[in-house]
Structure 1
Amino acid sequence: MEKKLPVAWVECEFKELTSFVIGGDWGKDPDGEYENETELVACIRGSEIKNWDKEKGSTSTIRKIKPTSLKKRALKTGDILIEISGGGPDQPVGRTIYIDEEAIAVNSDYEKVCTNFLRLIRFYEPLNSRFIEKYLTSFYLSGEVVKYQGGSNNLRNLKYKEFETITIPLPPLPEQQRIVAKLDSLFAHLEEVKSRLDKVPELLKQFRQSVLTQAVTGKLTEEWRKGKEFESFKAYNQRINQIRQSYYDDSLVNWKSDIAAWKENGEIGKRPVRPVKLKELPEVEKWEYDDYGDLPIEWGWTRFNDVTYKIGDIDHKMPKDFEGGIPYLSTGNLKSSEDIDFENAKTISREDYIALSRKIKPEKDDIIFPRYGTIGRNIYVSFDKEFLVSYSCAIVKNIKNEIDPKFVYYVSLSQLTKKEIQKYVVQTTQANIGISSIEKFLFPLAPIEEQAEIVRRIEGLFSKADAIESIYEQLKTQIDNLPQALLAKAFKGALAEQLPSDGDARELLEEINKLKEETKKKK
């Protein structure tokens, strides 16, 4: 059951309280020359609304309007502006801003007006216009405003004639003032809390990067390493090279077998792709890693190419859409390892899937390395599923029996790799990096036993960060919803005290009606 308003409150239509309503004036180019006299003004647009509380219209644009227009539209303290055109699919029209002394003082060399996408509203003197503006904000946040808008998805229009008939719960003036003061105090406190809370994501980002930096330099496992014996870096590195060579040799044997079968079948279909010969990259020289500091003596520097079977991309051909087919992901579908958007991905035919993946395809324990735009926002494939990623991504094939794939993945996310990216990235209209450059990246190789411990520690610390992030998200949602809850409470008469000495809002309405009559007589 809906709570009734306090006894001294009254409900009335919004239009009963307005003394002056006029549309804005966008004016003309400030650098133009015109026959009629014009004056420079600061014109407040809809784009100023979002950051109004902080910027107070400091980003408003300078225009020229006629003196007669300025005389009617010059803003003053206590005015309210309401958005009558704008909005979009996710943002209804009807947002409001309150013009206070601070807003008037901004760009003080110019008088202020609003654009024709806004409407200027003034109220009769016995009212607190900030109280009205806060109610309009509450009305907007409640979602009720959508009932009063029309237009297309890209441009919404407020049906003002209908909107001005909305009902306003009106308390006596002293209570209006107490409600405004109370809301201002609570909102100021909320802003302080939000300001502190807004630092959490960046702090967590820094924490995760710090963990990765400690991990790839050996500092994270410094104590764990003490007293343990490991295979030498030289021996481990040679063993990896032998495994890579064996992988290539086996691939070559399989290819020769595939070629023979292809010829036997009359060379139908695409010729099997010959495995790419292992690249012999130059050994890492000291000058290349001087800026990264020393590694533990059990570790050594190598290259990204030399800790993987291969790094490559699919054929550079854009396949056609095929409904219900195999997912074909672009970088836009790759949010994180835990958030791959298969649902909205393009799908392709099996024929295209087979043709495009002849050189390489993503499989479990591979790493997807975006090469365009979001370079280095890498994805670890932790699942078995048929899919492809576009050639805007490299696919990293891990030597998973000899090098922990997740160790390679975490190195690829570290600041060290980000610095390597900056060495080779090509800055054009869209930043990009070649596969041959990725292959050259420096890689700090730890003993296999230590890799597993590093992964365990990283994931333990990341799990704690994730838990904090989850709490942060819950708190943020609660705090984001608080203004609406406080406003709703205020306009039910449950936020500020009602005092017998306040009088009755009906008396206030009578006073407003007298002012209306006096105004009519003067006209």
Structure 2
Amino acid sequence: MESKLPKNWVKTSPLEISKIIRGVSYGKSDAFQFEFDNSCLILRGGNIQDGEIVDGKDNVYVSVDLIKNEQFIQKHDVVIVGSTGSKNLIGKAATSSFESDKISFGAFLMNIRASETIDKRYFSYYFQTNYYREAIRNLAGGVNINNIRKEYIENLYFPLPPLAEQNRIVEKLDRLFAQLEILKTSMAKVPLLLKDFRQQVLTQAVTGKLTEEWRKGKELDSTTDLLKKIEIRRKKNDTITLLKKLDEIYNDNSKSVIYNIPSEWKEINLDRVCEKFSYGTSTKSDNEGEYVVLRMGNLQNGKIDWSDLKYTSEKSEFEKYKLEKGDVLFNRTNSPELVGKTSVYEGEKESIYAGYLIKIWNFKELNSYYLNYVLNSNFAKKWCSEVKSDGVSQSNINAQKLSKFTIPFPSPEEQQEIVNRVESLFAKADAIEQQYKILKAKIDTLPQAILHKAFKGELTEQLDTDGDSRELLKQIQELKNSTVKPKKATTKKVKNYPEGDGALGMVAESKK
């Protein structure tokens, strides 16, 4: 930030234009989780969020007798985290939008109160700049804890314009940041719209509406004949000991598609068109090895995510659990929102799969990519939420339950057409999402770019009528020299802390 300043600006420091107030120290026996007569809420690190003071969890109250007058929060105070075990949190700052004689701050926080002679809002914006945060992170460091010394703040470089320009800068910053918030709110809808669009596509796909016009006038393979051929082939290839299992498959009546499908399609359980459903390896995986072990975290949005991988070098495990291109993987366990995630393995790297995944061995008549789209539809997600069994801490859908999931079964030709159309529409959605991410990244950098220009004197015009900030600095110094330290107000001692519960919200209290 340090650079040549406009001619009517001056380089100064917080020491010259503000006062640093240390937080309240109190003992364990002084702190309570509830309000009581003559109590004061103590702000802590958790109350400092995104540049604002917010209500927090596990509020702490102490007697107002422990608070000095200057330690009560005033409007436009800058409260910062002065001591913490995290270097990322040290120096985190928030500006108070209220004042209250019932709210103060703890010893791990510091309060920087700007001179009445300057625009306090201009002063507070400074503590949201990257320049400030980086300077503090570089200065504050300890073996086990990070601390900000008073002089770290006092000696920071601070560019001070004349008061009239401070006002103009604040007005423009407020306007620009308000516009940014509107833009961010609008942008936040894009991922939701894209998610909804993809689900609408999948809904159209599994109900046959996506290929409704394409299907007209075409002579497609009969799904009834296909299923009969699969049954005959299975009975010829399977041993006699498996015939009971085949009877279970072909005599099952648990089909339950909850939506209408074209008359040419069939409603079937998944085991009708799959050979088997197998669990993956239970061998422990490592950060290095010869073969990738795909886990539930690698199943993302219907595709394999290769960014966080584990490995094994066990040749026997690879031979037993080796994946082939086109295999569909199903996540069978973990939290409810993760159960049912699926992806298609496309053979990018030699891989096996972990034990909490199920590999679906589908016959050639069932297109793997079509199946993957069916399993990613909202209909499948609803089914997963209904049939999963709740364990102690995890939900689970085993292979037997998965085998009885009902799917809409069109001809292989139509399955491929559905896949082509879904891929085309998803590609358009992906392109929009990529543009969104690029734009969002640019928008995310705008606040700091705007602040940088503001404190270099490039955000607003300099006017000769504004005067010189050197004169302003002299006024501040004269005011500091003439200020008499106020005496602490006396309050009635509280001998007994009454019992109670609940917590009065800070903002609500401040407005009373």
Q: TM-score, normalised by structure 1?
A: 0.83
In the alignment, residue 77 of structure 2 is paired with which amino acid? D
1:438 is matched with 402
Quick check: 1:43 aligned with 2:42?
yes
2:284 is matched with 319
CA contact (8 A) 2:255 2:269 kept: no
CA distance in 2, matches of 1:399, 1:333: 24
CA distance in 2, matches of 1:352, 1:24: 64
1:7 is matched with 7
CA distance in 2, matches of 1:66, 1:29: 8
1:280 is matched with 248
1:454 is matched with 418
| CA shift for structure 1 position 329 | 2.8
Aligned with residue 78 of structure 1, among 67, 76, 79: 76
- Flag structure 1 segments of 5+ consecutive residues without an equivalent: 253-273
Quick check: 1:124 aligned with 2:115?
yes
CA contact (8 A) 2:254 2:404 kept: no
Structure 2 residue matching 1:288: 3-state secondary structure:
coil
2:223 is matched with 233
In the alignment, residue 481 of structure 1 is paired with which amino acid? T
CA distance in 2, matches of 1:139, 1:83: 16
- Per-residue CA shift, 1:125-177, capped at 9, x if unaligned? 10112111111211457734321221468x54334432431100000111111
Quick check: 1:299 aligned with 2:265?
yes
Aligned ranges 1:77-96 → 2 under 5 Å: 77-86=75-84, 88=86, 91-96=88-93
1:369 is matched with 330
Aligned with residue 470 of structure 2, among 506, 514, 520: 506
Quick check: 1:196 aligned with 2:186?
yes
CA contact (8 A) 1:212 1:411 kept: yes
Sort the Cα spacing of 1:26 and 1:335 in 2 relative to 1 into closer, same or farther, 3 A: farther
CA distance in 1, matches of 2:313, 2:111: 58
* Percent sequence identity over aligned pairs: 36
CA contact (8 A) 1:25 1:114 kept: no
CA distance in 2, matches of 1:436, 1:19: 70
| CA shift for structure 1 position 330 | 2.4
Structure 2 residue matching 1:466: 3-state secondary structure:
helix
2:32 is matched with 30
CA distance in 1, matches of 2:333, 2:416: 31
Sort the Cα spacing of 1:387 and 1:247 in 2 relative to 1 into closer, same or farther, 3 A: farther
CA distance in 1, matches of 2:244, 2:135: 63
Structure 2 residue matching 1:281: 3-state secondary structure:
helix
CA contact (8 A) 2:292 2:350 kept: yes
Sort the Cα spacing of 1:172 and 1:298 in 2 relative to 1 into closer, same or farther, 3 A: same
CA distance in 1, matches of 2:152, 2:286: 46
CA contact (8 A) 1:43 1:61 kept: no
Aligned with residue 417 of structure 1, among 356, 380, 390: 380
Query: Bigger relative contact order, structure 1 or 2, given CA contacts below 8 A and separation 6+?
Result: 2
CA contact (8 A) 1:283 1:302 kept: no
Aligned ranges 1:111-510 → 2 under 5 Å: 111-139=102-130, 143-151=134-142, 156-245=146-235, 248=238, 280-281=248-249, 285=253, 288-289=256-257, 292-315=258-281, 317-319=282-284, 321=286, 323-336=288-301, 338-341=303-306, 344-351=308-315, 353-354=317-318, 358=320, 360-373=321-334, 374-400=338-364, 402-428=365-391, 429-510=393-474
Sort the Cα spacing of 1:439 and 1:180 in 2 relative to 1 into closer, same or farther, 3 A: same
| CA shift for structure 1 position 335 | 3.5
CA contact (8 A) 2:77 2:124 kept: no
- Per-residue CA shift, 1:373-392, capped at 9, x if unaligned? 21122111112532222111
| CA shift for structure 1 position 492 | 0.8
CA distance in 1, matches of 2:371, 2:56: 47
| CA shift for structure 1 position 422 | 1.8
Structure 1 residue matching 2:361: 3-state secondary structure:
strand
In the alignment, residue 300 of structure 2 is paired with which amino acid? K
Sort the Cα spacing of 1:64 and 1:489 in 2 relative to 1 into closer, same or farther, 3 A: same
In the alignment, residue 197 of structure 2 is paired with which amino acid? F
- Per-residue CA shift, 1:441-484, capped at 9, x if unaligned? 11110111111110011011101100110110011001100000
CA distance in 2, matches of 1:195, 1:361: 46
Structure 2 residue matching 1:444: 3-state secondary structure:
strand
Structure 2 residue matching 1:382: 3-state secondary structure:
coil
Structure 1 residue matching 2:256: 3-state secondary structure:
helix
CA contact (8 A) 1:81 1:119 kept: yes
Sort the Cα spacing of 1:61 and 1:322 in 2 relative to 1 into closer, same or farther, 3 A: closer
CA contact (8 A) 1:92 1:156 kept: no
CA contact (8 A) 2:287 2:309 kept: no
In the alignment, residue 212 of structure 1 is paired with which amino acid? L
CA contact (8 A) 1:44 1:61 kept: no
Sort the Cα spacing of 1:475 and 1:275 in 2 relative to 1 into closer, same or farther, 3 A: farther
CA contact (8 A) 1:39 1:64 kept: no
Structure 1 residue matching 2:167: 3-state secondary structure:
helix
Structure 2 residue matching 1:116: 3-state secondary structure:
coil
CA distance in 1, matches of 2:132, 2:244: 60
- Flag structure 2 segments of 5+ consecutive residues without an equivalent: 488-512
Aligned Cα root-mean-square deviation (Å): 3.1
In the alignment, residue 296 of structure 2 is paired with which amino acid? T
| CA shift for structure 1 position 32 | 7.9
CA distance in 2, matches of 1:441, 1:393: 16
CA contact (8 A) 1:82 1:94 kept: yes
CA distance in 2, matches of 1:275, 1:119: 77
| CA shift for structure 1 position 187 | 0.2
Structure 2 residue matching 1:179: 3-state secondary structure:
helix
Q: TM-score, normalised by structure 2?
A: 0.85
CA distance in 2, matches of 1:442, 1:298: 16
CA contact (8 A) 1:311 1:395 kept: yes
CA contact (8 A) 1:169 1:491 kept: yes
In the alignment, residue 280 of structure 1 is paired with which amino acid? E
CA contact (8 A) 2:41 2:62 kept: no
CA contact (8 A) 1:148 1:160 kept: no
CA distance in 1, matches of 2:247, 2:185: 52
2:95 is matched with 98
In the alignment, residue 97 of structure 1 is paired with which amino acid? A
Sort the Cα spacing of 1:99 and 1:481 in 2 relative to 1 into closer, same or farther, 3 A: same
